[in-house]
Amino acid sequence: MQNPKSKQTVKAPLGRRIFNVFVYLFALAGFGIIAAWAVFQLGLTKNKGAVDSNYRYLMSVSEMEAMEQQELTPQQRDALWMEQYLKLAAFGKYYPENARLILEAAQYSGNPMLVDRMLAAASLYIDSSNSYNQFLVQLKKVYDSREQVQAPTVIPWMATQEWEMLKASLIRDTAMLNEAGRLTGVEPRLIAACLVGEQIRLFNSKREIVKKYLGPVKVLSVQSQFSYGVNGIKEHTAKAVEAHLKDSTSEFYMGRQYENILDFKTDNHEMERYNRLVDYRNHLYSYIYTGCILHQTMLQWKRAGFDISNRPDILCTLFNVGFSQSHPHGAPRCGGSHITVDGRVYTFGAIGFDFYYSGDLAAALPFWKKRFIDDNGVRLTPAQIDSIQQHMSNCARPEKGREYKTDSLQPTPDSENEPSVLEW
């Protein structure tokens, strides 16, 4: 029998129970928000982080950026580059791949400080007792123990006032040199090497005239007697070049691609040839003839079994002495006309060689991967030939002088470049 006094559990209605659940949830949410606010205000959420163990290296890299803002003289900048290359050479002994990447990046940027910054960044992973650091210290000691020699260049003739004047003139002719290189398939820097040899010879044979008239206006000297133009090309040599272009049986033949680059517009070839070469405003034809001489001579030797395409000293020498002295053999020697500069005697070939490998003007006249472009067998169109022929200025030429027309079978090196009149 059930006890009437016992209490019975009475369940609340369903709606009431759902309401109570929502009240509890809102209460908990409110408590959480208040707690989060309190934690934030007390700074308990701040992450103090960790100081990188290499922070001094990182700071030094940043400080280098401030140094880049300093004004440096060209001499100071060159000295800075030398120090960077020294460090990079040491780094390359131990980490060649990283050194290669750093060198490429620095050369691309043109910024010597970038080497220091990249080396400092890489040094984060090198212990201070590492053999690389010891080697670098030793290398720097040897480097610093040598006094700086106050010489602008190791090549004496390139330290002269004449070269500085000539260099400015070369820069002005860069577009024509590059165009001649494209048309003849010859590296423009090689054409320029022959030009440098000829102009240095003229600068020193007519030194006072050059300093007084040509130097201040930065123009090249143009010859109009015995030899023609800025490269001193003789008439019989120019005629031979033209004949070789057309004769497919010749040992000097350059190929179909080049057959028409020297075609004439008129029937008076002698006068047109003279006007081309002594044009003192536009030297393109002088450079085209020079490129042809170099290309034809190289092919002559190559067909005889001797490749001189990688010998700018021999190519400049052969340009200077002429076709008549170009006899392919296995032991060619650098030579040509003797040129005296500040009491020191050079040969034509040596001066061309010096300029070619000096690195000077490499931005304007860069090194090609191949010095000569092979014939592609495609002749120029009439429109292309006409565009070449338009490269002559409408200026008055000097009166034609006593041309040296006799093609001696064995001329002396100096006979190929007789002293001549300078024109302005």
pLDDT digits (tens, 9 = 90+) for 161-192: 888 888 988 999 999 999 999 999 999 999 99
Look up residue 76 and give its two tokens.
């100071």
On whether residue 255 sits in a domain, the answer given is: yes
Domain end position, chosen among 144, 178, 213:
144
Residue 14 lies in a domain: no
Q: Which of 106, 121, 144 is the last residue of a domain?
A: 144
- For residues 385 and 238, the answer to whether their CB atoms sit within 8 Å is no
Q: Do 137 and 168 reside in the same domain of the chain?
A: no
Residue type, 229: G
Mean pLDDT value across the chain: 80
Could you give the CA distance from residue 226 to residue 402 in angstroms, rounded to a whole number? 6
d(C-alpha 183, C-alpha 285), whole Å = 11
User: Which residues contact residue 275 at a Cβ distance below 8 angstroms, ignoring those fewer than 6 apart?
Assistant: 392, 397
d(CA 293, CA 176): 17
pLDDT at 331: 96
* Mean pLDDT, residues 27-56: 57
Q: What is the mean pLDDT of residues 12-29?
A: 67
Q: What phi and psi, each to the nearest 5 degrees, are found at residue 382?
A: -55, -35
Clarify whether residues 345 and 322 are in a common domain: yes
Asked, for residue 13, whether it belongs to a domain, the answer is no
pLDDT for residue 4: 55
Nearest by Cα to 12 from 4, 3, 21: 21
Cα 328 to Cα 304: distance, rounded to the nearest angstrom: 6
115 & 169 share domain: no
115 domain residue, yes or no? yes
Q: Answer yes or no: are the C-beta atoms of 298 and 323 closer than 8 Å.
A: no
Nearest to 66 by CA among 13, 117, 9, 15: 117
Q: Any idea which of 136-150, 198-212, 250-264, 400-414 has the lowest mean pLDDT?
A: 400-414
Tell me: pLDDT of 69 over 90: no
Shared domain for 251 and 296, answered yes or no, is yes
The average pLDDT across 248-262 equals: 97
Give the confidence band of 56 by pLDDT, cuts at 50, 70, 90. very low
Q: How far apart are the first and last CA of the chain?
A: 142
Closest CA to 245 of 205, 284, 197, 289: 289
The number of folded domains in the chain is: 2
What range defines the domain where residue 193 resides? 156-423
Banded model confidence at residue 6, pLDDT cuts 50, 70, 90: low
Residue 280: its pLDDT value, please? 82
Comparing C-alpha atoms, which of 245, 204, 239 is closest to residue 403? Answer: 239
pLDDT(30) > 80: no
Binning pLDDT at 50, 70 and 90, where does residue 328 land? very high
Instruction: Look at 76-80, 86-90, 414-418 and tell me which has the smallest mean pLDDT.
Output: 414-418
273 assigned to some structural domain:
yes
Q: What three-state secondary structure class fits 409?
A: coil
Q: What is the rounded average pLDDT of the residues 71-85? A: 78
Measured distance CA(327)–CA(149) in Å, rounded: 43
25 pLDDT band, cuts 50/70/90, is low
Of 89, 120, 144, the position where a domain reaches its end is: 144
Mean pLDDT along residues 404-424: 35
Same domain assignment for residues 135 and 230: no
185: left (phi over 0), alpha (psi -120 to 50) or beta: left
The pLDDT assigned to 322 comes to: 95
Q: How far apart are CA 250 and CA 384, in angstroms?
A: 25
The answer on 343 and 194 residing in a single domain is yes
Provide the pLDDT for residue 413: 40
For residues 92 and 100, the answer to whether their CB atoms sit within 8 Å is yes
Same domain for 78 and 192: no
Which residue has 């960790």 as its token pair? 50
Buried-state track 147-172, b at ≥16 Cβ within 10 A, e below 16? eeeeeeeebebbebebbebbbebbee
Q: Is residue 44 part of a domain?
A: no
**Chain centroid to CA 154:** 20
> Do 247 and 276 fall within a single domain?
yes
Which residues lie below 8 Å from residue 140, measured CB to CB, with a gap of 6+? 86
For residue 351 the two structure tokens come to: 């001066």
- Same domain (yes/no): 136, 274: no
**Torsion of the alpha carbons at 378, 383, 385 and 391, rounded to the nearest 10:** -140
pLDDT at 41: 60
Residues 194 and 335 in one domain: yes
- In whole angstroms, give the CA distance from residue 68 to residue 77: 11
* 237, 358: one domain: yes
- For residues 343 and 340, what is the distance between their CA atoms, to the nearest angstrom? 6
**SS3 labels along 40-66:** HHCCCCCCCCCCCCCHHHHHHHHHHHH
Write down the pLDDT at residue 85.
85
Is residue 20 in a domain? no
- In percent, the amount of the chain with pLDDT more than 90 equals 45
Confidence of residue 219 (pLDDT cuts 50, 70, 90): low
- Centroid of chain to Cα 411: 37
Contact 321, 413 (CB under 8 A): yes
Select from 316, 324, 338 the least CA-distant residue to 196. Answer: 316
What confidence tier does 416 reach under pLDDT thresholds 50, 70, 90? very low
Q: Are 201 and 341 in contact (CB under 8 A)?
A: no
Contact 214, 162 (CB under 8 A): no
More confident residue, 333 or 54: 333
**Domain presence at residue 225:** yes
- Residue 344 sits at the vertex; the CA angle it makes with 339 and 350, to the nearest 5 degrees, is 50
Same domain, 79 and 180: no
